[in-house]
Amino acid sequence: MSVGHGSDEVQREDLRRLAARAEEAEGERDTMKSRYEDARRETRAARRRLEAVTRASRDFTKSARATMGGQYELEGELREGLARERAGRGEAEESLRRMETLVDRLGVIIWEAEVSESGGVERFILVGKHCEEVLGYPRSRWFRSAGFWMEAVHPEDRDRVREAYGSAVREGVEKRVEFRVFAADGGTLWIEDLVQPVENGGGRVRGVMVEVTGRWEAGEALRESEERLRLTLDAARMGYWSLDLSTHEATRSTRHDRIFGHEEMLPHWSYERFLEYVHEEDRGFVAGEFERSQNTGEDWEFECRIIRADGEERWIWALGSVLLLDGGEPTRMFGLVGDITERKRAEERIHRSEERFRLLFEQANEAVFVHGLDGIITQANELARESLGYPGEELRGMNVSDIEMNVSTDGFEEIWREVLRTGDPVVVEGVNRRKDGSTFPVEVSIGRFEGEGEPSILALARDVAERKKAEEEREAALDRERRASEKIAFLGEASRGLASFLDLDGTLAKAARLAVPRVAEWCVVDVLEDGGNKHRLAISFQNGGETETRLEERPDDEAPEPVREVIRSGEPRLVERVDETHLEGIATDEEHLERLRGFGLDSYAIVPLQARGRTFGTITFARNDPSKRYDRESLSLLGDFTDRASLALDNSRLYERQRHTAKVLQRSLLPTDLPEVPGLDIAARLRPLGEGIEMGGDFYDLFEASEGRWSVVIGDVLGKGPEAAASTSLARYTLRSVARSEGVPSRALESLNAAMIEQRGEDDRFCTVLFGNIRQNDGGFTLDFASGGHPLPVVLRSDGSVEEVGRHGTLLGVYHDPEISDSNIKLAPGDAVVFYTDGVTEARKDGELFGEERVMESISSCAGSDARGVADHLEERLEEFSGGALGDDAAILVVKVDGESGVG
Amino acid sequence: MSSLQIAVEERNGVSTLLLRGELDIVTIGKLARSLSEVESKETRTIVFDLTELDFIDSSGLRIIVAADTEARRAGGRVVVVEGREAVRRVFRHTLLDKRLTLVEDADEI
């Protein structure tokens, strides 16, 4: 295949460029691969980090929840305990106070004494201050001698009194006794005495005396009050104690001793002993308070740790009230003590747990929020504040929707409700917004938080920007690698596919088909013809599952505007998203618009076809699948494909143009119809080399040179191509004009020789020509002819004999003095003369030439055939011989005289 | 493999181009290249030895005729050693056997 000279260099340049591009693409692919590997490694590392963090936060959430749960329980218990304690204490205190008030108001005498089993008072320990008022004796009298009392009692009642006191001690029960007493002023008073043994107090009793000369009710009330006190004390699990401030000896209830770890009452107890039980770290404080209360008369109230008899550390609360006697001197203190260890421990546990929670909360690796169902944030840790850029306490009170972009859109409220209901944590993706407005992606773990009050939402937010970035990069790298591979594979296929076509239609169709569906759902390959007035197209599109291809032609004014624009500018055009107005701009008519709508055009690209510095067409790629929309990167691949197509299409165009030109020229060079010559039967065959791509150098002509004289010409310009064609037309037209005036063939050829030498340009142009004149003569014809270097004609007589006639002459166009001679033969009816070019005799097969012998043979076997028959037969023999192999051009011209001679 | 082989021999101011195979439109390029090399050396006599040439067509003729014309112009000469009948014929039919210096064998030069 031959292409015009000047474009070889450009073509080679195109090929070099394409080869370089292919190499580049390979290199790109390697880079892509290694970058992808890196991205993969990074992602794996990021994933491991994320897993670790997730685990840590899950652990935290678990322990936080456990702690919260535990704390809640503890708090519940504590609340109950506190309530009870408070109630108990309150009531106990109240009772004490009430009793004191009563005592005060009613002038009741409280006493305590050691009494024997026989009822004799051995010693008074305590006597209330009202004794002086009621009985008139100074208090000191009681303590000086115990016998004093019995003496004050009316002698008639002494037995009864002794009996009451004694049985109280003996039986351990409460006894009431009424008796008369002599007052200091000599008067007699009736006394009612309520005697109680002090629990396990040995012979100790306690009593309350009331002057009952008309005040009975007061005693009742008091008794009730005491009773209530006892009950209250029991309920509060408190112990009662009474301390002599001078001896530091104490009496107490059973419960008191139990608090200090003794199931059985100890025989003795004192303040000092008490201190021994106190935790050494608290002793100083407790003793100090003791001193202070004695000095100030204020209550001695404190909490401290004790080491119980069994070694266990416990917490106690104690309240001591100072009893003032004798002008303000504190003589006694009595009070309560209670074990508050459980409460204290609970408090501590909560404190510790709170501490722990606080720690975890603040030091978590994630931002932690606590908020209610309404979204109001109640707690936020340091990281939360930091990551969002809110200082101090700002976050509290804000709504989560101010922070988390997707709260409303992604149904977070639903999620919260669900989490609160089930307690199962949930992980969601979100986007957090900082105070400055910037955003970052997060992963949020949402759990149930049980603190005080209603359960709320605990949200841990992890910044996943890094992970997202790694994921995105990995996706992008994978995508790039995939695209690079696809691109290379596709271009390789395109190159191979396009290389094999020569004819333009075939190349157009192939190019369009290659693009669908790999890079387009619709492809139009459009090439300009006819100076830009016409478009030749191949259209390929998906129809059902198949690709359909059509060839079309349309005039330039029917081409869509974008296509013409690209041809004008030489620049590709990309439309990533097509809308309705755009469609209207593209469509050339209603039908076209309907088709575009029907196709669902989504995006398209028009790439110019360029070669040898000019734009000669376009390829339009169109997609209707939005997921495969074209972008700037696709343009690069489409451009590479179009480059390859450009090369192939340009070659095809050139080939076609050459062939077309050749045909046109050839047609103009040769007589399309052989003229009708009366009396002659004429046939011609011209077989140019290479199917018309080359213009052959062989030619023939037949014309009426003058009245009754027909000139016949057959020749061979030694060469091929347009230059040769120019020589053949020179030869033909020179002979045509010379022959009019020059009747002698040799002279006509000499003229041609001179003309050729004169016309000789850069290249020597030689030719061989056989020229003859045919005239009617005596019922037949005569042929005068001369040869300038050309094979001699063969005459076929009607009897079947053949002979070569004429004399060889010098080939034309070289020498100024050619030797050319004329010959003359007579042709009778039925005779034929065959002219041919050396393409016939020099046809080769395996080194053997067709040769003159075969020519003669072939012609002689055609005796009786008409001119066409002879020509056909010779041509057939020639084709047969050379087996279709390309040789030289061959021309055959047969002139037969009509009529028959002899044979019918 | 080209169907034309050319061997160039130079001796005493005579350059001989020994041709073997076929000289036609396909192979004339090769001959043209060898010929221009030889011509550039300014030898006085160029010999086309066609004894082993199987075939020559009009394009081959052209080269030889052009070389002959050029040589004459430059004051040198071209000699053609004839060989096979197929080749001789061509020179005969064009009457070039009367124009070119044709010899039967190389010794005659």
List CB contacts (< 8 A) between A849 and chain B: 55, 86
Across the range A75-91, mean pLDDT stands at 60
Q: What is the mean pLDDT of chain B?
A: 87
Whether A719 has its CB under 8 Å from any CB of chain B: the answer is yes
Across the range B17-32, mean pLDDT stands at 88
pLDDT value of position A355? 73
Vertex A311: Cα angle to A309 and A313 (nearest 5):
105
pLDDT value of position A174? 82
The third-level CATH classification (topology) of the domain covering A670-897 is Phosphatase 2c; domain 1 (3.60.40)
What would be the CATH architecture of the domain defined by B4-108?
Answer: 2-Layer Sandwich (3.30)
List CB contacts (< 8 A) between B62 and chain A: 718-719, 764, 766
Domains A366-463 and A670-897 share a fold: no
Across the range B20-43, mean pLDDT stands at 86
d(CA A152, CA A188): 10
Q: Is the pLDDT of residue A763 over 70?
A: no
Domain residues of chain B, as ranges?
4-108
Stretch among A82-86, A538-542, B28-32, B85-89 having the lowest mean pLDDT = A82-86
Of A428 and A279, the one with more pLDDT: A279
d(CA B16, CA A414): 103
d(CA A66, CA A864): 122
Across the range A290-297, mean pLDDT stands at 85
DSSP-based three-state secondary structure for B17? strand
pLDDT value of position A904? 37
Inter-axis angle of helices B28-40 and B58-74, nearest 10 = 10
Nearest Cβ partner for B58 among A818, A838, A847:
A838
Strand partners of residue A180: A190
Q: Do A716 and B58 touch (CB under 8 A)?
A: yes
Contacts of A524 (CB under 8 A, 6+ apart): A512, A537, A538, A539, A540, A618, A619, A620, A622
Query: What digits encode the pLDDT tens for the residues A587-613?
Result: 777 888 888 888 888 899 999 999 888
Nearest residue of chain B to residue A698 (CA atoms): B58
Q: Is the pLDDT of residue A7 over 60?
A: no
Q: Do B69 and A847 touch (CB under 8 A)?
A: no
pLDDT value of position A888? 63
Stretch among A35-49, A234-248, A407-421 having the lowest mean pLDDT = A35-49
d(CA A245, CA A332): 5
Taking only residues 792 to 831 of chain A, the set having a beta carbon closer than 8 angstroms to any beta carbon of chain B reads 792, 808-811, 814-815, 818-819
pLDDT value of position A285? 93
Query: What digits encode the pLDDT tens for the residues A628-667?
Result: 889 888 888 899 899 888 888 888 887 777 667 666 666 6
Nearest Cβ partner for A808 among B61, B69, B95:
B95
Query: What digits encode the pLDDT tens for the residues A167-208?
Result: 888 888 888 888 888 888 888 888 888 888 876 667 888 888
CA distance B96 to chain A (A): 7
Q: Is the pLDDT of residue B2 over 80?
A: no
Out of 3.20.20.10, 3.30.450.40, 3.90.780.10, 3.60.20.10, select the CATH number for domain A500-650: 3.30.450.40
The CATH class of the A366-463 domain is alpha beta
Of A898 and A68, the one with more pLDDT: A898
d(CA A474, CA A478): 6
pLDDT value of position A43? 55
Q: Is the pLDDT of residue B18 over 90?
A: yes
The number of helix segments (H) and strand segments (E) in chain B equals: 3, 5
Stretch among A370-379, A664-673, A850-859, A867-876 having the lowest mean pLDDT = A664-673
Looking at mean pLDDT, say which of A510-519, A543-552, A826-835, B2-11 comes out highest: A826-835
- Band of pLDDT at residue A227, cut at 50, 70 and 90: low
Q: Is the pLDDT of residue A431 over 90?
A: no
Whether A845 has its CB under 8 Å from any CB of chain B: the answer is no
- Band of pLDDT at residue A766, cut at 50, 70 and 90: confident
Vertex A104: Cα angle to A98 and A107 (nearest 5):
125
The identity of residue B94, as a single letter, is: T
Nearest residue of chain B to residue A787 (CA atoms): B94
Chains A and B form CB pairs within 8 A to the count of 66
pLDDT value of position A695? 58
Nearest residue of chain A to residue B53 (CA atoms): A847
Q: Do B94 and A808 touch (CB under 8 A)?
A: yes
Q: Do B65 and A789 touch (CB under 8 A)?
A: no
Q: Do B69 and A844 touch (CB under 8 A)?
A: no
Q: Residue A710 region, left (φ>0) first, then alpha (ψ -120 to 50), else beta?
A: beta
Query: What digits encode the pLDDT tens for the residues A15-52?
Result: 666 666 666 656 665 665 666 566 566 556 555 655 55
Nearest residue of chain A to residue B87 (CA atoms): A842
Q: Do A849 and B55 touch (CB under 8 A)?
A: yes
Nearest residue of chain B to residue A820 (CA atoms): B95
Whether A768 has its CB under 8 Å from any CB of chain B: the answer is yes
pLDDT value of position A236? 59
Q: Do B59 and A719 touch (CB under 8 A)?
A: yes
**Strands A188-197 and A175-182, bridge-based pairing:** antiparallel
Q: Do B94 and A811 touch (CB under 8 A)?
A: yes
- Band of pLDDT at residue A712, cut at 50, 70 and 90: very high
Q: What is the mean pLDDT of chain A?
A: 79
pLDDT value of position A233? 61
Q: Do A697 and B25 touch (CB under 8 A)?
A: no
